[in-house]
Amino acid sequence: MPAKRLKVVVTRRLPGPVELRLKELFDTELNETDTALTEAELADAVARADVLVSTVTDQIDGRILARAGDSLRLIAQFGAGVDNIDVQTAVQRGITVTNTPGVLTDDTADATLALILAVPRRLHEGIELMAQGHFDGWSPTWMMGRRLTGKRLGIIGMGRIGQAVARRAKAFGLQIHYHNRKPVARNFEEQLEATYWDSLDQMLARMDIVSVHCPHTPATFHLLNARRLQLMKPDAFIINTARGEVIDEAALARALRAGQLAGAGLDVFEREPKVNPDLVGLPNVILLPHMGSATLEGRVEMGEKVIINIKTFADGHKPPDRVIPAIL
């Protein structure tokens, strides 16, 4: 008698090849509408599933986990970040949590560098002017931005993505500075001539561009608050492709509108999909719809990692991308 196939519930639409493979391997239930599940729908999913394939739009907190059925033993997150999941409670209930680290490093770093290039050079303003038909000819003092070569880039969080951004930025002539829980390997610092700052406050006060690459945790919530934003130079720019909660958006909007910062490039927001209305329409701000990792290749690789994690778990082994809570 063939073994019972795992019941896998997928909360959002995934790339076609990933969905096809999931259906081949498991008893898979897909979300054909690609709308985020309501709290009630998510509670129903965890009650029925052996494996839940979740995404960042699913808030899997203690209340949802309390509704989980006895069969739920794996939450396979489609994404690297897991701040939407109460991992500690899940593990305490005997539910393994996995994610998909590493595959989106280059895609997110590319998008970050695009913002680092676009905001100081006012590229989005130029595009908008051309679309409106307001180009009347070249002028020596028109649409002047800021040169990148020689400027100081301060990276907050020197993990995989932070290091990938540093390598790209170095090639554009930026000086690399960073704040991290601890210094990175000496050979990496030497290769990029990177300067480590133990004090975030001191680094912020001296940077021309600041790029955020740390995860959202209780310790990093509003890490860049009003006080720290005021430390930055008025001609400095801030880029965030990590998590919106790391920056106090209201304080950022006030700083930008008051001329205390030169500009910002944001791909993530504190209350997604809502965007602080005070940020919308500012000429010195680029707002992107959380698309830093949005490449076909990257999303397919994410799906492949999800499948490997599920298959390894189903075979009775520890999945390669288990998420271990900091405190158990």
Q: In which element (H, E) is residue 51 found?
A: strand 51-53
User: Helices (DSSP H) in 139-208: which residue ranges?
Assistant: 160-171, 186-192, 200-204
The DSSP string of 275-317 is --TTTTT-TTEEE--S-TT--HHHHHHHHHHHHHHHHHHHTTS
Half-sphere exposure (CA, 13 Å, Cβ side) for 104? Answer: 25
User: Considering 206, 272, 304, 322, which one is annotated as catalytic?
Assistant: 272
- The token duo for 87 is 């991992």
Indicate if 243 belongs to the active site.
yes
6: phi then psi, degrees, rounded to nearest 5: -65, 140
Identify the residue whose tokens are 């950022």: 252
User: Considering 160, 290, 304, 322, which one is annotated as catalytic?
Assistant: 290
Contact 7, 51 (CB under 8 A): yes
In this structure, the number of other CB atoms found within 10 A of the CB of residue 5 comes to 12
User: Considering 73, 122, 243, 299, which one is annotated as catalytic?
Assistant: 243
CA nearest to 313, candidates 62, 79, 50, 83: 50
Indicate if 272 belongs to the active site.
yes
Contact 117, 168 (CB under 8 A): no
Residues belonging to the active site: 243, 272, 290
